[in-house]
Chain A
Amino acid sequence: MLKIEGLSKSFGGVAATNDVSLHFPKGSLTAVIGPNGAGKTTFFNLITGAFKPDRGRILLDGDDIAGLSPPEIVRRGIGRAFQIARIFPTLTVRQAVLGAVHAHRNQHRILAKRFPMPGSGDRAEQVIALAGLTAKADTLSRNLSHGDQKLLDIALALVLEPHVLLLDEPTAGMGPEERWAMIDTVHRMWEQERMTLIFIEHDMSIVFKIAQSVRVLSYGRVLAEGTPDEIRRHPEVIKAYLGDEFEASHA
């Protein structure tokens, strides 16, 4: 389980994350929502070590991981995919996933043997299948469609057998049909891998459909937390977030 206590980070005097305390139970599926600039991505960056927090603790199964480097945090079991897919353009899907398998098994600095190492192939194929990319395993990553690139990004994170997986807007930039396909895949991954999954999402219909619980951030603070139903009825949330969104979408 992941427990955040009093996490704070400011940039040039502006508090991007301000005294955030949140709890994500083991195996839960949680959505993090909030208006633009609420500090959602910063929150992910703090958990994964991309930024060092100014204050606060990040407890993963009781150990404080705040301030560790990204590779160290990854090795503790927190994986991450990005809002804009971050992939390896000149590698094929299979090569990239194999590369991640080697990194995960700490075989990525082996000089004397050929790539791939024996036994890495099975795990790679399994993850590629889980992401639904089997048919495209030999395609160069840069030639994949936008949606497939995002799936590959998630697959790379899944290789690491994360206890906690952070997905930053898995459906960003996708059409409606593609979105639901992606969400189905994500949901299937969560069920099969039995991990704690936290995702940032803007599409409320998706959030309310699949999330077990929801955390709302606004101006770097926790505005509300609860089940989708509770969040839907939360006056602060309606005012700060859903109200704007509602008006904007009907303007």
Chain B
Amino acid sequence: MTRSSLLRDSLIAIAVFAVLALLPFIVPGKGFTDFMVRLAAFGIFATSLNLLVGYAGMESFGHGLFFGLGCYSFGLIMQTFPVSIPVAFLATVGLSIVVGTVVGAICVRLNEIYFAFVTLAFQMLLHSLIIAWTPITGGDQGLTGGIPRPPFLGIRLDDYYHLYLFSTGLLVASLLAMYHIVQSPFGYTLRMIRDNAARAPFLGINVFRVRLMAYVIAGAFGAIGGMIMSLFVSGAFPDFAYWTISGEAIFMIMLGGITVFLGPMVGAVMLLLLNDFVTKMTTHYGLVLGLVILLFALGLRKGLMDFAADLWRDRQTPTSGPRPDTAAKTAASAPARAGE
């Protein structure tokens, strides 16, 4: 097999991380590192949503549940308990797995529309709890007072370069892990369920269990995105659990493309740049972003990387027919709703 192995992908990841580690010396200024920390948070978040949407065909509209959960859980643990950052980190991942299992058990049986509704509803439940439980969460003021950052393993997260390294390191590691999952037997089972959920049971696949696993895994990665955000703003805000966070993530994956693994990353870069540009130019952020979304959704209807993938496929197929590696790529990147 000529396809990528874990070893090769790991080497690529290390190389990418090395380049990222050097970048701040080439592009100096806190503006760049700040951007990259936000990109790490949203990149992981959007890519984890695409595990559901692009690979499993599960159109969640409430993925922000896990972003908000990660944000608040990490912030609260660090503020309340004298624990190290890795401990709070693992505890938050554990909590998101528990929450994902309970919420997922209710949601993943539902059909398309209901799944979108009910995932959104659970996200808004978290949001309303955050608003209501002011003594714990700070209500609509958010979690203030800063997050303690005790050094661990020589990493001091109150230093912005250290935070940059930590965040981009998590980004690269999370992307590597999610790519590995997508290329695993489980990843192919997800594609089968996405393509034909009615056929899968007759091959002995328990669709409920596989979907639940996907939901929990995506949720855990979504929470990692939230934790990075919590470190970045040194707190947590109810907006991180609001439905617009899910809306933004959906726009990111649609913008970048759901049929290519790195599509959501591209979308995250585009939307963050757009955000920064628009907020600098005008106070009417919603108006401009809304118009961009409508132009995109009604005009292009496809993400950037989807176009690139289609173009590439068209150039490959007429001459030789799909070769094994091409075919593997096209399947890996097949549209969620391709075919019948």
Contacts and interface: CB of A to CB of B under 8 A. Distances in A.
A108 interface: yes
Nearest to A116: B185
Interface stretch (A135-143, A183-191, A233-241): A135-143
Contacts of B187: 115
Contacts of B191: 88, 90-91, 99
B340 A102 contact: no
B195 A108 contact: no
B184 interface: yes
B205 A71 contact: yes
Contacts of B185: 99, 102, 107-110, 113, 115-117
A182 interface: no
Contact of B189 (A104, A108, A156): A108
A151 interface: no
B189 A113 contact: no
Interface centre among A89, A91, A95, A117 (most CB of B within 10 A): A91
B101 interface: no
Contact of A74 (B192, B204, B324, B335): B204
Interface in B183-198: 183-189, 191-192, 194-196, 198
A60 interface: no
A71 B206 contact: yes
A88 B192 CA distance: 6
Contacts of A69: 201, 206
Interface in A109-140: 109-117, 138-140
How many B residues touch the partner, as a band?
35 or more
Given A74-B203, A91-B192, A112 B327 contact: no
A111 B181 contact: yes
B210 A109 contact: yes
Nearest to B5: A114
Interface in B132-190: 180-181, 183-189
Interface in A69-112: 69-71, 74-75, 79-80, 82, 86-92, 95-96, 98-100, 102-104, 106-112
A48 interface: yes
A150 to B, nearest CB: 13
Given A91-B195, A111-B184, A71 B204 contact: yes
B6 to A, nearest CB: 7
A244 to B, nearest CB: 32
Contacts of A91: 188, 191-192, 195, 331, 334
A157 interface: yes
A90 B202 contact: no
A222 to B, nearest CB: 25
A48 B202 contact: yes
Given A115-B183, A139-B322, A157 B192 contact: no
Given A70-B201, A89-B338, A95-B328, 19 more contacts: A69-B206, A71-B204, A87-B199, A89-B196, A89-B340, A90-B194, A90-B330, A91-B191, A91-B195, A92-B322, A92-B331, A102-B188, A111-B181, A112-B184, A114-B180, A139-B327, A142-B340, A157-B202, A160-B203
Interface of B: 3, 5-6, 180-181, 183-189, 191-192, 194-196, 198-206, 209-210, 213, 217, 321-324, 327-328, 330-331, 334-335, 338-340
